[in-house]
Amino acid sequence: MRSLIPLLVLGLAATNAPARSSSRTIPRHARAAPTVLVLGDSLAAGYGLRRSEAFPALLMEKANATGLDLNVINAGATGGTTADGLHRLPPLLHRHVDVLVIELGINDAFRDVPVPQIRANLQKIIDLTRARYPQVKIVIAGMQLPRYSADDYVTRFGAMYVELATSNHAALVPFLIEGVIGNPALSLPDLIHPNASGQKILAANIWPVLESLLRRSP
């Protein structure tokens, strides 16, 4: 991300879990652990931190602590845009994905990419994943720019994620990094990227929704 101080509002959305074709009930302990793919930017990558301190790794720790087996693939890339994520996605789908977390878009806004193009890229990411895994759960991390502009780009950018979640039958968690951005105690010196303590809050904000989705799995 550029060295700006945005207020980022992130939401979550989901679809149904993969269906089992067998009529025989498989004990939960015998099933393969679900795989969560996090396709994101510097927030997911854990900019300035060890990969193990970023929220994708912390989500796996939370799952294990509550008795849920979970595999998490961190495909976060610092500076990542929606176009970049779309380009990186196909090889990532070679491994089965049960949940896709999309945490992208703010870098597009910093580059003044038109909102319709950002939305189109995000929709293509969803469509491409569902084409490969029709029952995949989709988690959309939406973002909100600070209201420093007189035009309506800020409003349209924030609303885009809500609309995208709705059109994809999604539930929305509106504020992933609540209490982190701008807080020196929870941020790196740039006051943009979370430090290790801030990443724990990101994981804590995401986890209740993700846990609910995982526990609804057959």
Is residue 127 annotated as a catalytic residue, yes or no?
no
Is residue 108 annotated as a catalytic residue, yes or no?
no
Neighbours of 61 (CB within 10 A): 15
How far is the CA of 214 from the CAs of 48, 104, 119, 124, in angstroms?
Answer: 30, 22, 26, 24
**Cβ(138)–Cβ(124) below 8 Å:** no
Report the half-sphere exposure of 177 (CA within 13 A, side-chain side): 31
Neighbours of 153 (CB within 10 A): 14
Is residue 212 annotated as a catalytic residue, yes or no?
no
Distance CA 44, CA 81 (A): 13
Report the half-sphere exposure of 182 (CA within 13 A, side-chain side): 8
Task: Give the active site residue among 52, 87, 149, 190.
Answer: 190
Per DSSP, the three-state class of 101 is strand
Tell me which residue of 136, 173, 190 sits closest to 18, measured CA to CA. 136
From the centroid of its chain, how far is CA 156?
A: 20
Task: Give the active site residue among 42, 98, 108, 187.
Answer: 42
Q: Which amino acids are annotated catalytic?
A: 42, 190, 193
